[in-house]
Amino acid sequence: MSATFRAGMCTRPDGSLRGVFLLTHSNGQTDVYHLYGHAEGNEFEARHASGHVLTGTYVDIETVKGRMRLKNGMKFKYKGHRHLNAPVTDDCAPLP
């Protein structure tokens, strides 16, 4: 599977988070996942209502990596460039 992604996450001081993960497949189709979860230290876990789970680690100030497990059991790894204080929508989706 070849895909690209963009994500936006908002965290609160208590560690709760919400966000949106946009997964764009090689055929151009984009899947949107609204996520809720928790962050502690440099790690986070967030879940989609359908059962998909996104886990990740803030490797450094500029890098995040992790794994997404879909409800059907399929897993894939991701690595991305982190932008602190990036603009997001009211539901924490990334802006263009």
pLDDT digit string (tens) for 20-75? 989 899 999 998 999 999 999 999 999 999 999 999 999 999 999 999 998 999 99
* Cα atoms in the Cβ-side hemisphere of radius 13 Å centred on 51: 6
How does strand 16-25 pair with strand 30-40? Answer: antiparallel
Q: What is the pLDDT of residue 1?
A: 58
The answer to whether position 19 is within a domain reads yes
| Domain region containing 68 | 3-81
| pLDDT interval class at 3 (50, 70, 90) | confident
Number of domains comprising the chain: 1
- What does the alpha-carbon distance between residue 73 and residue 51 come to, in Å, rounded to a whole number? 10
The answer to whether position 89 is within a domain reads no
**What order do you get walking across the sheet with 53-60 strand by strand?**
3-11, 16-25, 30-40, 43-48, 53-60, 63-69, 75-81
The answer to whether position 57 is within a domain reads yes
Which two structure tokens, joined as six digits, stand for 38? 């928790």
Give the 3-state secondary structure of residue 5.
strand
The answer to whether position 41 is within a domain reads yes
Q: What is the pLDDT of residue 96?
A: 81
The answer to whether position 47 is within a domain reads yes
The answer to whether position 10 is within a domain reads yes
pLDDT tens digits for 77-95? 999 999 988 999 999 999 8
Give the end-to-end CA distance of the chain in Å, rounded to a whole number.
24
Task: Say which residue, 2 or 62, is predicted with more confidence.
Answer: 62
The answer to whether position 45 is within a domain reads yes
The answer to whether position 31 is within a domain reads yes
